[in-house]
Structure 1
Amino acid sequence: MFLLNFDPFSYKYPSRRTLVYGSRGMVCATQPLAAQAGLDMIKKGGSAVDAAVATAACLTVVEPTSNGIGGDGFALVWSGGRLHGLNSSGFAPALADAEALRARGCDKMPLYGWEAVTVPGAPAAWAELNRRFGRLPLEEVLAPAAWYAENGFPVSPTVSALWKRAFAKFAKNLDGAHFAHIFESFTLGGCAPEPGEIWRNPAQAATLRKIAESAARAFYEGEIAEAIDAFSKSCGGWLRLEDLAAFSPEWVEPIHANYKGYDVWEIPPNGQGITALMALNILNNFDFAERECARSYHLQIEAMKLAFAESLAEVADPRYMRRSVEELLSDGFAKRRAALIDPERAGLPTSERQSSGGTVYLAAADGDGNMISMIQSNYQGFGSGLCVPGTGVTLHNRGNNFSLDPESPNCLAPRKKPYHTIIPGFITRGGEPVGPFGVMGAFMQPQGHVQMAVNMIDFALNPQESLDAPRWQWFRDSTVGLEQGVPNHVAAKLAAMGHDVRIDFDRIDYGRGQIIQRTESGALVGATEPRADGYVAAW
């Protein structure tokens, strides 16, 4: 087994966190209570997967601003000497109708309301991961989440800030009686909770227990499914009981790119992980001498633009894609893309085809060699603005990622999965695990994955340094955001090269990540995100 090359006593970036070491178990998550609940599963004899599922379920309670029971989930699991991929993203309802939306004057998918709702996959992901790789009963694994929902917990500072942001947007954009339930279920007297304020959601606790007792069937075929169906029908929504009953998670073969001796792994489309792999393949054609120089930023940004041009034009439900994964990840394709980069000047993103076109991440490992990279999301904060009455289930708005362009492979269609932003990552070397990593945050995610890989592989930063280091983010055209902390001379040079540079002081929008690595001796090394209320629980 391999640990990326770094000197743990030679920090290049100031951090309020240090590396955490363990040997028998480790969980990294954005919220301490959830991470500790996961580690408790390992101490009870559970696997890393049990720990991850317990943490994931807890995060729907203690960090509802980024994920929920009504969201989607993906996972990469290292077990039995190989990597396994789980895609638990849902499809559009059978009644979904792109033409009806276009007839209403929509030129893009709505962000809120029933049209943005696809079948949620998170509960099915929990049950399937537990079934295949768990050692403890699902009731025991989900018990901490139900306990916190029933008895309450003190809201953490970042979650409180995100809660306020989400409901400020809802107050401006949600109009209609069907949106009233989310204000009733997720505010205290109409207000988001303050840091340290105790939050309880008994309806969510009851739902979690029903999911646990039925291995999630209650959510897809039983009384929770019936409640979702009745709510949708009462509002004229598309989602039906039949859509929920037809869903099941998919085990998929992970895809990878070899980046300078390390294999970086992602879930295949409909996820956007291929975007990170395309960018890394392009960057294989360049060498980096130092991190804090305009050239290193420029090359990464330009590679990312080209990768996004392809993924936004081509990535969709794999049944509808026009180009194969193998072609998009081929060396020839990467070399053609790399040849378009001007090392001295910013370019505009172009697709080779020239086509028109709130998340939580966690990582866990146990003392037996099992490791998991897991991510789940409601997409935009609390999601669609819809909360199923009496259940505590907020429904995601993942359908917003569909296109309404009939020529796009990602155009909305019945029982079709959308382009999906959430992506777990994993690194191996020579067929052995280095470990799970991820950076959450919509279209920041593949950009974060590229920056973590380059930080650790090219610049030999340790996992915590890699997370602490200031980040960049490409938005559109030539617009690039830089976090405060990027050296002024780098920002000035990038602007002179033609990048439309903006400096951002709010680090939350630049992703929130976790990393676990396993050393050759078997020790676990964990790092968590300074942009969140992150925590590494270790044993």
Structure 2
Amino acid sequence: MNFDPLYQPFASHRVPVYANKGMVATSQPLAAQAGLDVLKQGGNAMDAAVATAAALTVLEPASNGIGGDAFALVWTGGKLYGLNASGPAPGTLSIEALTSAGYTEMPKLGVVPVTVPGAPAGWAELSRRFGRLTLAEALEPAARYAEEGYPLPPGLARNWARAAGIYASQGEVLKGSAWFETFAPGGRTPASGEIWRSPDHASTLRQIGESDARDFYEGGLAERMHAFMAEHGGYMTRDDLASFKPEWVEPISVSYRGYDVWEIPPNGQGLIALSALNLLKGFAFEEKESVLTYHRQLEAMKLAFADGEKYITDHGKMGVTIQELLSETYADERRKLIGDTARLPEAGDPQASGTVYLAVADGEGSMVSFIQSNYMGFGSGIVVPGTGIALQNRGHNFSLDPSHANRLEPGKRTYHTIIPGFLTRGSKAVGPFGVMGGFMQPQGHVQVIMNTLDFHLNPQAALDSPRWQWTKGRTVMVEPGFPQHIAQALARKGHDIQVALDSSTFGRGQIIWRNPDNGVLCGGTESRTDGTIAAW
């Protein structure tokens, strides 16, 4: 893989990091260090991924928590494995139940959109199958941070305060929740540089570790979640928790410029990134900063999103196959729709033709692409008293339209935004990559992969390059550093270009590539947040 050493990123003075014994890239420096410490203690990449993920529930709670979901792509022993640790809707949560209660759409906050948390089971499963350390050992760094406290970095403090403002207006929706008691002790959120600690969080993490997560799904922690939901009109029960198991899945891929780009299959939206790349590989891109390059990227992305919105849901209930959506024949037909001007996206018929992300690598060749989230920052706003467990609100993505593929059904997994990515060439791993941030994620994946493979940017430059984000219709948000003359040319093609003043909505990415000749690792981390790389 040849990088362009002369390319200068628009808003960062960072350079890529090199190492050979181990590397952890994530959005919080202390979490990256926790993962690296586990590697130095004899753990492998999978142990370090679990340690980092658990630490992030403490060190970046404005983006994820113990009550969230997780996905992973794991390269070890020369093979790529996929882990889907996303939980389903509770067994009593149905369209009929909500419509009879007066709902016309899935709410965002409170007990109703809570789905079964999958992350703790995902940690336990990854540790059981591939780890060297016990789960308790991998979770201990996170537990210590929760128990002893840590100073908030500025990006986290800003997002934390923003969430508090949202939750403060919810009243009855968050009745009984310990969110303010846990995350705003003394009546306010911690400021940048102030110490925050959560002893309840530490106790919960240790119970999960000592029981290999059984206490969370079958024991005392499960009983406390069940009791809270029963008292406050929620739907998740002890039976929903006890019946949950994470699933090992076959990753899906497309070939792009001689490499294979891998994603988790649905219910995740990684299929959207692959669909867009499948369209884009039919074009030759001679230069990055070209109006034609950006126009084609945007049009391909819109077509891929239109298909994703129509078809993606729990894998067994999609109505079309992944093979049909990623077929060359279907890509050829959809590519014909990309003309010279912006168009409104529509789904095709293939049968007719705030999240945290971390990348880990060890010195033995194993690599992990891991992502977890509570959705919309802290999630539902529900924190089970005495536990530190902030529950996710993934149910918000369900449709109450009975004819929609992603309609709400008991025990069904919803369309999921969080996606880990991985790159291989032939039989060898290149490495993990990811860009977190809701529906920005597949757009970030496409931009990072094209920056790497089409325009030969190193990992740091690939992340720092100005980003675009399609939002709806013909509307495209661009960062302040986006080339103005290209933005003006795109507007002349019919795109509604809007310059965003806040770059935090454009995703937060991490990359680790391995040199196949000497095993040297090269990493890049997000300049739009508190990201860092811990290397050995």
After superposition, the C-alpha distances for 1:254-300 in whole angstroms (9 at most, x for unaligned) are 00010111100000001000000000000011111111121111111
Unpaired runs of at least 5, structure 1: none
SS at match of 1:106: coil
SS at match of 2:32: helix
> How does 1:90-129 map onto structure 2 within 5 Å?
90-129=87-126
Match of 2:386 among 385, 390, 397: 390
1:513 aligns with 2:513: no
- Indicate if the aligned counterparts of 2:17 and 2:522 stay in contact, CA closer than 8 A: yes
Partner residue in 2 for 1:272? 269
Partner residue in 1 for 2:40? 43
Match of 1:286 among 276, 283, 286: 283
Partner residue in 2 for 1:441? 437
SS at match of 1:175: helix
Partner residue in 2 for 1:486? 482
Residue 190 of structure 1: CA displacement?
Answer: 2.2
* Structure-2 separation of matches of 1:485 and 1:365: 32
SS at match of 1:527: strand
Partner residue in 1 for 2:348? 352
Match of 1:225 among 199, 222, 227: 222
1:457 aligns with 2:466: no
Alpha carbons of 1:498 and 1:252: their partners in 2 closer, same or farther (altered >3 Å)? same
Partner residue in 2 for 1:528? 525
* Structure-2 separation of matches of 1:526 and 1:67: 23
The AA in structure 2 aligned to 1:361 is Y
- Indicate if the aligned counterparts of 2:394 and 2:414 stay in contact, CA closer than 8 A: yes
1:140 aligns with 2:140: no
> How does 1:411-450 map onto structure 2 within 5 Å?
411-450=407-446
The AA in structure 1 aligned to 2:335 is A
1:84 aligns with 2:84: no
- Indicate if the aligned counterparts of 2:51 and 2:141 stay in contact, CA closer than 8 A: yes
SS at match of 1:26: strand
* Structure-1 separation of matches of 2:233 and 2:168: 22
Greater CA drift, 320-329 or 345-354:
345-354
Unpaired runs of at least 5, structure 2: none
Partner residue in 2 for 1:378? 374
* Structure-1 separation of matches of 2:436 and 2:158: 17
* Structure-1 separation of matches of 2:350 and 2:249: 29
Partner residue in 2 for 1:325? 322
After superposition, the C-alpha distances for 1:132-191 in whole angstroms (9 at most, x for unaligned) are 111111111111100000000001111001101111111223434625411111113221
Alpha carbons of 1:532 and 1:179: their partners in 2 closer, same or farther (altered >3 Å)? farther
- Indicate if the aligned counterparts of 1:174 and 1:385 stay in contact, CA closer than 8 A: no
The AA in structure 2 aligned to 1:454 is M
1:196 aligns with 2:162: no
Residue 7 of structure 1: CA displacement?
Answer: 3.5
The AA in structure 2 aligned to 1:209 is R
RMSD: 1.3
Partner residue in 1 for 2:470? 474
Greater CA drift, 402-411 or 345-354:
345-354
After superposition, the C-alpha distances for 1:296-316 in whole angstroms (9 at most, x for unaligned) are 111111101000000110010
Greater CA drift, 498-507 or 60-69:
498-507
Alpha carbons of 1:174 and 1:16: their partners in 2 closer, same or farther (altered >3 Å)? farther
- Indicate if the aligned counterparts of 1:76 and 1:86 stay in contact, CA closer than 8 A: yes
Report % sequence identity: 57
Number of corresponding residues: 533
The AA in structure 2 aligned to 1:28 is A
Residue 430 of structure 1: CA displacement?
Answer: 1.2
* Structure-1 separation of matches of 2:8 and 2:178: 48
1:260 aligns with 2:257: yes
SS at match of 1:115: coil
Alpha carbons of 1:174 and 1:463: their partners in 2 closer, same or farther (altered >3 Å)? farther
- Indicate if the aligned counterparts of 1:31 and 1:62 stay in contact, CA closer than 8 A: yes
TM-score, normalised via structure 1 length: 0.97
* Structure-2 separation of matches of 1:178 and 1:340: 50
Alpha carbons of 1:377 and 1:473: their partners in 2 closer, same or farther (altered >3 Å)? same
Residue 14 of structure 1: CA displacement?
Answer: 4.8
* Structure-1 separation of matches of 2:13 and 2:202: 34
TM-score, normalised via structure 2 length: 0.98
Alpha carbons of 1:458 and 1:8: their partners in 2 closer, same or farther (altered >3 Å)? same
